[in-house]
């Protein structure tokens, strides 16, 4: 790959804490290498700001290899930036050219309140999982792993759903701030496996109840979530959730 350097203008959302009123601030960064990752570019800006005596931009990030789900920036109107099936940390600066202006916003949803600058509180996702996103099995001596054969297609589909990193891009992209893609990924993962079968009815109903309680919107099948999901979680999971929900609603015994 050819490398090049670029100068950029960044328009970044700044907000001191969850109670403060935020606003956009504009920054210039110079000599950014096309080989840098997007977050490394922010690192450069932050180092510059600290040296100049300013408060650096707070943002969530950890593994920087696209799997922890911590990074969360809404870049130029798209969660995780312009690349398909990608996280911010894996976005590289060769996506931009000299002179570009980039607008960076936090995830916007009332269920994800801003903590500071670009950091948001996604603990609602933990609480949704607590509502039923598990198999109730204690540590101990379950049956041998190979005692239950699982059809490969189902195992693969369960894995594809379980690949969700819980970043919240689906919520950020959805016009309804719906968490359905996230919830449906977990419901699908466990509904597709025999291990998840005993609790499938209570799982889906409890998780949906919690999702509603957290203040996420409802799904209107627009598909924005699927388009921005870094792990390419499919909307068919949402339909599967609907199915699970309907069946549970019609057949649950109490």
Interface positions, 143-182, toward another protein (CB under 8 A): 143-146, 148-152, 155-156, 158-159, 162-163, 165-166, 173, 175-178, 180
> Helices marked H in 104-166 — which ranges?
123-130, 152-162
Q: Do residues 36 and 24 make contact, with C-beta atoms less than 8 angstroms apart?
A: no
Q: Comparing C-alpha atoms, which of 73, 125, 39, 112 is closest to residue 230?
A: 73
Q: Does 215 bind another protein (CB under 8 A)?
A: yes
- For residue 247, give Cα distances in angstroms to 48, 161, 252: 57, 20, 8
Instruction: Put residue 24 in one of left, alpha, beta given phi > 0 → left and psi -120 to 50 → alpha.
Output: beta
Q: Do residues 133 and 209 make contact, with C-beta atoms less than 8 angstroms apart?
A: no
Residues 67-106 contacting another protein, CB under 8 A: 67-70, 74, 76-79, 83, 85-86, 90-92, 94, 103, 105
Strands (E), 48-156: 74-75, 78-79, 101-105, 114-116, 119-120
Nearer to another protein among residue 99 and residue 141 (C-beta):
141
For another protein, the binding residue among 28, 30, 54, 97 (CB under 8 A) is 54
Q: Does 23 bind another protein (CB under 8 A)?
A: no
Q: Do residues 85 and 232 make contact, with C-beta atoms less than 8 angstroms apart?
A: yes
Q: Does 60 bind another protein (CB under 8 A)?
A: yes
Residues 181-200 contacting another protein, CB under 8 A: 189-190, 193, 195-196
For another protein, the binding residue among 6, 37, 96, 181 (CB under 8 A) is 37
Nearer to another protein among residue 8 and residue 158 (C-beta):
158
Q: At its nearest, how many Å lie between another protein and the CB of residue 57?
A: 10
């Amino acid at each position: 790959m050819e490398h090049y350097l670029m100068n950029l203008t960044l328009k970044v959302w700044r907000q001191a804490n969850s109670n403060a009123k935020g606003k956009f601030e504009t920054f210039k960064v110079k000599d950014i290498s096309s080989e840098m990752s997007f977050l490394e570019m922010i690192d450069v800006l932050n180092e510059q700001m600290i040296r100049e005596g300013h408060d650096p931009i707070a943002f969530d990030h950890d593994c920087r290899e696209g799997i922890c789900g911590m990074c969360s920036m809404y870049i130029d109107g798209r969660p995780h930036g312009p690349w398909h099936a990608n996280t911010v940390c894996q976005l590289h600066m060769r996506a931009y050219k000299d002179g570009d202006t980039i607008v960076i916003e936090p995830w916007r949803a009332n269920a994800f309140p801003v903590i500071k600058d670009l950091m948001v509180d996604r603990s609602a996702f933990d609480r949704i999982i607590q509502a039923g996103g598990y198999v109730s099995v204690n540590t101990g001596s379950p049956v041998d792993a190979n005692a239950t054969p699982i059809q490969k297609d189902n195992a693969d589909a369960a894995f594809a759903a379980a690949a969700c990193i819980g970043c919240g891009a689906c919520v950020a992209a959805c016009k309804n701030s719906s968490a359905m893609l996230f919830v449906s990924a977990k419901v699908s993962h466990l509904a597709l496996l025999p291990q998840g079968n005993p609790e499938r009815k209570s799982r889906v109903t409890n998780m949906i109840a919690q999702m509603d309680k957290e203040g996420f919107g409802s799904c209107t099948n627009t598909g924005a979530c699927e388009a921005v999901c870094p792990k390419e979680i499919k909307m068919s999971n949402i339909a599967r959730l609907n199915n699970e929900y309907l069946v549970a609603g019609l057949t649950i015994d109490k």
